[in-house]
Structure 1
Amino acid sequence: MKILEVNKYYYLRGGSERYLFDITALLEQAGHEVVPFSMKNDRNRPTPFENDFLDEIDYRADRPLVQKLGEAARVIWNREAYRKTKAIVKRERPDIAHLHNIAHQLSGSVVAALHDMGVPMVQTMHDYKRICPAYTLFQGGKVCERCKKRRYWNPIVHKCLLGSRAASTVAALEATWYGMTGLHEKIDRLHAPSHFMRHKLMEWGIDGKTIEYVPYGLDLTRYRAARDDEDQGYFLYAGRLSREKGLRMALKAARHAPHARIVVAGEGPLRERLTREFADLGDRLRFDGYLDTPSLHDAIRGSRAVLLPSQWYENAPFAIYEAFALGKPVIGSDRGGVPEMVKPGDTGWIEPPDDVEAWARAMENVSEAAKQAAKRGRAGRQAMETIYTTEAHTKAMLNMFEKV
């Protein structure tokens, strides 16, 4: 089978790209041919298909107003994307297209071109863009579902995207255009990595028969499980320092958990604010910034548990997969897809996402429970070895591809 893998970025930018490269490797190992289609960027991974990619579009760059207006129009319809998609399909003749994140830079023009060329499509739902113009179902510090039933004026009113009314207006127009033209319905199957994602899409009116739940899998040969003697007793938060991720709430809880020490791996817009606001935690809080993969794995192995205090509807966070693969339990929020994987009494602890006292109790208790944490970490590793395997994931995805 020849598969066209489509994503707007072709370098390791986040979880979507991580999965893109993982599934590419798994499909190739299974004997299939993969053709990437993306956007040009100096950071891209080497590929002989680079010349087929779209020219880079950076909507955050500072450019003249006339140029920005032209780029805004391309969010809704991108002639270059349509033309180049048809060209690569005509030359490579893929059996199926596997879509990831295409909004804005690649746009729905890719979907239109694939449909016009008769290429069946499966899209992995990495986020909520299909139902939320701002991707996250999170606004003003709270989960938000105002756009249900296509009430797409709400992003404009609340400036949901980047805090910008202009950007939010473009996103709202894009969502309206997709609804009017039926572009979304041209995608044959949706891959939901969590039950929560599948149920949320169905709740918003998408036919459940077109949505299949398939959890991710990790290649465990790349992950050495932690030894008990590597536990240094701290909690690790690894991720973006942004409001929806909930780190501020966890740090508030740490003030009431005197034995809790927290190491933060990651960067984001809240870095300076959090550093100032929680200076009173002293040596119980350390910001390590961005860590490369080997350093991050070492940091996870050295932790007592990984924190996932998310305030938004997490889908199927790789932070849980990696923690389990490295033999560490997770303290996670009871929101989104998190409780599907993190099982209290088995692979971790689940707490209400906005309950500072509950998080404080959990962190204080786990700070004093090394043996219990190690046991739950081993259970997480076992789950990766028996449930979240690359073999099961590859088989399920290929079955989905063959159905369309």
Structure 2
Amino acid sequence: MKVLVVHNRYRSEQPSGENNVVDAETALLAAGGVRVSLFERRSDDIAAMSLPRKALVPGRVPWNRAARAELTARLQVERPDVVHIHNTFPLLSPSVLAACADARVPVVATLHNYGMVCPPGTLYRDGRICTDCVGGAPVPAVKHGCYRGSAAATVPMAANLLLNRSRWRSSVTRFFCISDAQRRLLVDAGMPASRMTVKHNFVTDPGVRRVGDGAHVLFLGRLTEEKGVPLLMAAWDRLGGSLGLPLVIAGTGPLSDEVDAWAASRTDVSYVGLQDKAACQALTASAAAVVAPSAWLEAFGLVVVEAMAAGVPTVAPAHGAFPELISDGVTGLLHEPGSAVALADALRDVVADPERNRKMGEAARQRYDEDFTPEVGLRRLVEGYEAAIAAHRTA
């Protein structure tokens, strides 16, 4: 099988889970005997552009003729069995779909977020879940400046969504949703149910697993409001040091300074900043629990599966993809979304009984072995490609 992967890489200055997923899948396919090649653009390249070229970037978000022409040429030479599209913003655009249609090659697209119904792809605005644009025109997004807090910056994304909505729905042979929760929301918004399948992300076995009861509670991720950092701080303040374990916060983001100052004022919080992959794996494997208090509707929740792989239970809100990843009371605990009281209670509960905590960690690892290993990931990828090829041939 020959697969061409299409992806616009996010900026390297900020860790990107989507970039990591694309890299992991590409390596997995190659190791599994699939002939895989890449058609990429890098958002990092924008910084080196001349001012006139930079000025043209927003106008090419909905349609980039040069990207279409270049991909058309690649398809004529390589003739892949299937094209797998991940992200097209901002330097590729949905014009790549037209190139695939011209070449009559089936297209698989992974939906890593809610970009098909929300210009910034987050379904989050002003500290709350927002579905104002779902199922309709993205006018509210422009009005509220949902992308980078700017109406002007939001316009190209809103235009992209509006102008290319029907093209995505008619040109993609099969969509990969990364959770059933995401799939249900998008189908309700009008996406074609028959062509949307759930394919969870996989996680490579870290090679380290928890031994003992764990030395801390861990938050690992972007330090933003939507990731629930203010909620976690409020919940930890309520606990008042009663947990008997420190909180370790690893990551970076807009709230870094606030988190650093808060951690410095306490003896039971350690802010360690951005860590490399090995350090993150070690922190996870030494945790009594991983906390993922996201305020938005996570489409997946990679940190939860990474904790599973290390045999560590997770505490997370009962919304988005978390209820299908976490079996409440079995592999972790779910709490009422947005409630600092409920989060504090769940954190207290998850470490209160070491034996119960150990059993939850073992059950979490068993769930990982069943559903989230590279072997499972490769099988589901190839099955999805084969189904798309067969459907395209029939059509």
- What TM-score does the superposition give when structure 2 sets the normalisation length? 0.92
The alpha-carbon deviation at position 352 of structure 1 amounts to 1.2
Please name the residue that 2:159 is paired with.
Answer: 173
- Rounded to whole Å, the distance in 2 between the matches of 1:402 and 1:392 is 15
Q: Secondary structure at the match of 2:41?
A: coil
The answer to whether structure 1 residue 218 and structure 2 residue 203 are counterparts is yes
Between the aligned partners of 2:55 and 2:316, the Cα distance in structure 1 is 42
**Pairing partner for 2:60 from 74, 83, 87:** 74
Contact 2:263-2:271 within 8 A present in 1 as well: no
**1:148: how far off?**
2.1
Q: How does 1:111-122 map to 2 (within 5 A)?
A: 111-122=97-108
Query: SS where residue 267 of structure 2 aligns?
Result: helix
Matches within 5 A, 1:374-389: 374-389=358-373
Deviation (angstroms), 1:275: 3.0
1 CA distance for matches of 2:263 and 2:170?
47
Q: What is the Cα deviation at residue 67 of structure 1?
A: 4.4
Q: Which amino acid aligns with 2:92?
A: L
Are 1:74 and 1:107, in contact at CA under 8 Å, matched by a contact in 2? yes
- Return the letter of the residue paired with 2:134: K
Describe the superposition over 1:123-148 as per-residue Cα deviations: whole angstroms up to 9, x where unpaired: 11111111111110111111111012
Does structure 1 residue 291 correspond to structure 2 residue 275? yes
AA at the equivalent of 1:306: V
Q: Is the 8 A contact 1:225 1:381 kept in 2?
A: no
Amino acid at match of 2:381: M
Residue in structure 2 matched with residue 199 of structure 1 by the alignment:
184
**How far, CA to CA, are the matches of 1:127 and 1:348 in structure 2?**
24
Where structure 2 has 5 or more consecutive residues not aligned to the other structure, the ranges are: 389-395
What is the Cα deviation at residue 40 of structure 1?
Answer: 4.8
Deviation at 1:62, TM superposition (A): 9.9
Find the counterpart in structure 1 of residue 149 from structure 2. 163
User: 2:258 aligns to what?
Assistant: 273
**Kept after mapping to 1: 8 A contact 2:3/2:34:** yes
Identical pairs, percent: 29
- CA shift, 1:19, in A, is 1.5
Structure 1 residue 279: Cα displacement: 5.0
Partner secondary structure for residue 400 of structure 1:
helix
- 2:242 maps to what in 1? 259
Paired residue type of 2:21: Y
Pair 1:390–1:265, CA change in 2 (3 A):
same
| C-alpha distance in 1 between matches for 2:97 and 2:378 | 24
Structure 1: gaps (5+ residues): 43-55
The answer to whether 1:4 aligns with 2:16 is no
Contact persistence 1:193–1:315 (CA under 8 A): yes
Query: What is the Cα deviation at residue 11 of structure 1?
Result: 8.7
Residue 10 of structure 1 and its aligned partner are, at CA, apart by: 8.1
| Aligned-partner SS, 1:255 | helix
Q: 2:329: which partner in 1?
A: 345
- Report the equivalent of 1:127: 113
Q: Which residue of 2 aligns with 1:52?
A: none
Counterpart contact for 1:10–1:39, Cα < 8 Å: no
* Post-superposition offset of 1:118: 1.1
In structure 2, C-alpha distance between the alignment counterparts of 1:366 and 1:347, rounded to whole Å: 10
Instruction: Provide the residue aligned with 1:32 in structure 2.
Output: 34
Q: Cα RMSD over matched residues?
A: 2.0
Alignment of 1:40-119 (within 5 A): 40=42, 56-58=45-47, 64=51, 67-119=53-105
Q: Distance in 2 between matches of 1:10 and 1:41?
A: 6
What residue number does 2:221 align with? 239
2:226–2:295 CA contact under 8 A, matched in 1: yes
Q: 1:389 to 1:313 in 2, by over 3 A?
A: same
Structure 1 residues 24 and 68 mapped into 2: Cα distance closer, same or farther (>3 Å)?
Answer: closer
Quick one: distance in 1 between partners of 2:305 and 2:11? 20
Aligned pair count reads: 383
What amino acid maps onto 2:242 in structure 1?
H
